[in-house]
Amino acid sequence: MISVRNLSFRYEGREHKTLDDINLDINLGELIVLTGESGCGKTTFALALTGFISHLFAGEYSGTVSINDESIEKKLLTEIAEEIYLVQQNPQNQFVTLTVRDEIAFGLENKEIDPQQIDIRIKEALHAVYAEDLISRNIDTLSGGEKQKVAIATAIALQPKVIILDEPTSNLDIKSTKNVYRLFKKLIDKKEVTLIIIEHKLKELMNYSPRILKLNRGKVIPLKNNQYLSNMSGKTRKRARKDYRCEFGQEVIQLEEFSIHRSGNEVLSISSLEIRQGELVSVLGDNGAGKSSFILGLMGILESAGRKRVILNNQITDIKHQKHPEKFGLVFQNPDHQFFCDTVEDEIIFPLRNFFPSGTQDPEKFCNESAFTDLSFELKTHPIKLSFGQKKRLSIAAVLAYYPEILLLDEIFIGQSNSDVIRIMSTIDEYRRKNNAVVLIVNHQPGIVHQYANRALFFEKGRILFDRNINKVEESLIYFEKTEYLEEMHAK
Amino acid sequence: MISLAAFLLHGYLEETVLLLIVLLIGIISRFPFLRTRAIKTLFFTVLFLAMIHIIFNKQGEVIVDLDLITVTRFGIEKAVFIGARFAVIVLIGFIFVFTTDTNVLLYSLMKLGLPYRFGFTVITSMRLIPIFGNEIDQIYYAQLSKGVKYRIFPIKKFTGTIIQFLRLLMISIVKQVDAMVISMEGRSFGLSARRSFSREVVFSLTDYLSIFVGVILLGAIAIEIVF
């Protein structure tokens, strides 16, 4: 059905080919899982299969992609769209209308399908994703999981022969991820459509016996299912877990009757919380539970009410709005929002210079001494030209370079492969131990993060549902019936 | 039609009656006069415009004659006329925005013949507003967390900070638009000059009644002007 022959592509201004002489055949009804390190070119490959690379992107393109023996390079994008549809990584970015109904109807209306038929297809597509109740909702009122459902419903309604899903669960919490896998099962069971899923979280998909392809240095390599599983095992490590209250130093963060309001609504309310020096805290919860507000409130970026004290070097500080940002190191989920300089080396020392004008740091030495060795080869490169994984590491390196005492990491593992997550976690854990720093990590990867964390905070509806020693987290997840988190914790 | 009527009328009494009609429309459509902040600004602007006419218009019969200020009947009539006209045009705009779903309006206009590319230019722009709001927040938070301070002096540093911010915002906008282009092209946008519309916009009795009242009002004004 899809035939790829000698496909190569090099982006304009880049030295290396992102896709390098790829040959591949995909049949109707197949389930393909495409995996690989972050930034290896998976999205580029998806864009090439859908014709966008050959039609819209500047660079050196060679080879052919054919669908049903017709070369897509000679077809219009609107014609290619009849056969193959790409659900992009972030559903938020691909919606073009204001309501769920209009969004699903958009592609069908462009094809001048009869309005009555459109109504039927919208209902069928929403039924397929268990989201009939969303039909009248505004896009902006949807949660992350609901947006992903609508994005998939949009694809189903168009009835293409091939659907490509680019990291469909990367922006979702664990519960929504499980729901999306439930949808895949339904699509896979029907065998009416070829599914190509770009995904890092493969464990769940293994149940459907997919054909696994790995993209590495521009080449597509077929992997056997057991080969993937053996690759994954042994990369996690066990560590002794002790009660955090005994092991760690003095209290660093104290919150009492702490609350945050946004647009007049209370988004976070914490009656009491203490965090000690040297703790590594895993912050869990569904999308919209108040985790990011908690991090921004601690930092002082979002204004909060109540008592908030930070005790460092035996000095007690009532932190008001943005008074001591140098004590904190905040890393956001999207690295692109955090680069303000033209080279990697300037970016590494940018916050350091802002906080401590006389402070010095040799970026090359810093990169080599920490786990950012790969960045030391890119010191003169513009941050925007780095791969996604490198961008993530740069955003963390720029924070660690000024040695903050409290690290606040907000969903930094989005779009990262398990090996990237492990690599980043090792770096952070090493930094924590060396500097006796406090680390709070908002994450949806408890399976890996809890190998390092000593404590977990679980947020629900703007409140802390439970605050437990890492050894007791399982008990609490069972008690509060958060089985999806439990399964994720056991995922290797 | 109301805005058109406001420009066609030339008497202060007629303009006042039109203002009362607009207020009545506002009350019927449950426009939150007291909770709309802009109403206060409108009130003071109308007062300011009226005062200018009262103070500076010296034509006609003198009602009050102080050494510095002379108030004339014509000045007061002109103040009422201009104040009422301004209030009518602004208020009817507020009520229009309050009572009309822009999305529904645009789909209806496209169904009536507005080229769909224009219609979707507005719809996609509206879609981007909350996204950019979020992007602006994220970039600003990232700047704060990295010790960037928004201080006007020294000017060179302030300009640099603003440029940093705008540059990131531009990159973000371009990426967002790229994703939207892929999404639209991937769904055959622009496949042909026509497209079908599945959204049904139904006229209610109130809509027909409003059009009827509007036509009567405009007709009456036209008759008054002609004869």
pLDDT of res. A437: 92
Query: A96 CB near a chain B CB, below 8 Å?
Result: yes
Q: Could you tell me if A431 and A407 are in contact, meaning their C-beta atoms sit under 8 angstroms apart?
A: yes
Average pLDDT over residues A383-409: 87
- Asked if the model's pLDDT at residue A283 lies above 60, the reply is yes
Average pLDDT over residues B145-152: 86
- Asked if the model's pLDDT at residue B118 lies above 60, the reply is yes
pLDDT of res. B209: 84
Q: Which residues contact B66 (CB under 8 A, 6 or more apart)?
A: none
Between residues B45 and A323, which one has the greater pLDDT? B45
Average pLDDT over residues B164-175: 90
Nearest CA in chain A to B166: A340
Nearest CA in chain B to A113: B196
Shortest CB distance from B147 goes to which of A50, A326, A384?
A: A326
pLDDT band at B226 (very low <50, low <70, confident <90, very high): confident
Q: Could you tell me if A244 and A454 are in contact, meaning their C-beta atoms sit under 8 angstroms apart?
A: yes
Query: A303 CB near a chain B CB, below 8 Å?
Result: no
Letter for the amino acid at A322?
Q
pLDDT of res. A49: 95
Nearest CA in chain B to A110: B195
Q: What is the ipTM of this complex?
A: 0.80
- Asked if the model's pLDDT at residue A240 lies above 50, the reply is no
Average pLDDT over residues A49-54: 94
Query: A124 CB near a chain B CB, below 8 Å?
Result: no
pLDDT of res. A244: 46
Are A81 and B188 a contacting pair at CB < 8 A? yes
Smallest CA–CA separation between B92 and chain A, in Å? 25
- Token pair for B141: 């938070």
pLDDT band at A409 (very low <50, low <70, confident <90, very high): very high
pLDDT band at A491 (very low <50, low <70, confident <90, very high): low
Average pLDDT over residues A265-272: 89
Range of lowest pLDDT (A204-208, A307-311, A397-401, B223-227): A307-311
**Average pLDDT of the residues of chain A:** 85
pLDDT of res. B51: 92
Residues A4/A6/A7/A11 CA torsion (nearest 10 deg) = 180
Average pLDDT over residues B117-138: 91
Angstrom distance (rounded) from CA A222 to CA A31: 13
Nearest CA in chain B to A402: B146
Q: Which of A462, A415, A417, A409 is nearest to A287 (CA)?
A: A462
- Asked if the model's pLDDT at residue B130 lies above 90, the reply is no
Range of lowest pLDDT (A5-14, A18-27, A262-271): A262-271
Average pLDDT over residues A364-386: 81
pTM: 0.78
* DSSP 8-state symbol, A290: S
Query: A92 CB near a chain B CB, below 8 Å?
Result: yes
Q: Could you tell me if A276 and A325 are in contact, meaning their C-beta atoms sit under 8 angstroms apart?
A: no
Range of lowest pLDDT (A57-66, A368-377, A450-459, B162-171): A368-377
Give Cα separations from A225 to A168, A198, A232, B8, B38 (angstroms). Answer: 20, 15, 11, 78, 64
**Average pLDDT of the residues of chain B:** 88
Write out chain A residues lying below 8 Å of B141, CB-based.
296, 301, 330, 332
- Asked if the model's pLDDT at residue B153 lies above 80, the reply is yes
pLDDT of res. A301: 84
Tell me chain A's radius of gyration from C-alpha atoms: 24
pLDDT of res. A241: 42
Query: A114 CB near a chain B CB, below 8 Å?
Result: yes
- Asked if the model's pLDDT at residue A44 lies above 50, the reply is yes
pLDDT of res. A234: 42
- Asked if the model's pLDDT at residue A323 lies above 70, the reply is no
Angstrom distance (rounded) from CA A9 to CA A48: 9
> Could you count the other beta carbons within 10 Å of the beta carbon of residue B62?
13
pLDDT of res. A246: 47
Q: Could you tell me if A329 and A344 are in contact, meaning their C-beta atoms sit under 8 angstroms apart?
A: no
Are A93 and B199 a contacting pair at CB < 8 A? no
pLDDT of res. A459: 94
Q: Which of A136, A164, A160 is nearest to A150 (CA)?
A: A136
Helix then strand then coil, in percent of chain A rounded to 5, is 40, 25, 35
Angstrom distance (rounded) from CA B214 to CA A390: 63
Query: A403 CB near a chain B CB, below 8 Å?
Result: no
pLDDT band at A225 (very low <50, low <70, confident <90, very high): low
Burial class (CB in 10 A: 0-12, 13-18, 19+), B148: buried
Angstrom distance (rounded) from CA A168 to CA A170: 6
Average pLDDT over residues A400-416: 87
How do residues A328-348 score in pLDDT, each as one tens digit?
999 988 888 888 898 999 999
Angstrom distance (rounded) from CA B173 to CA B9: 46
Burial class (CB in 10 A: 0-12, 13-18, 19+), A87: buried
pLDDT of res. B28: 86
pLDDT band at B195 (very low <50, low <70, confident <90, very high): very high
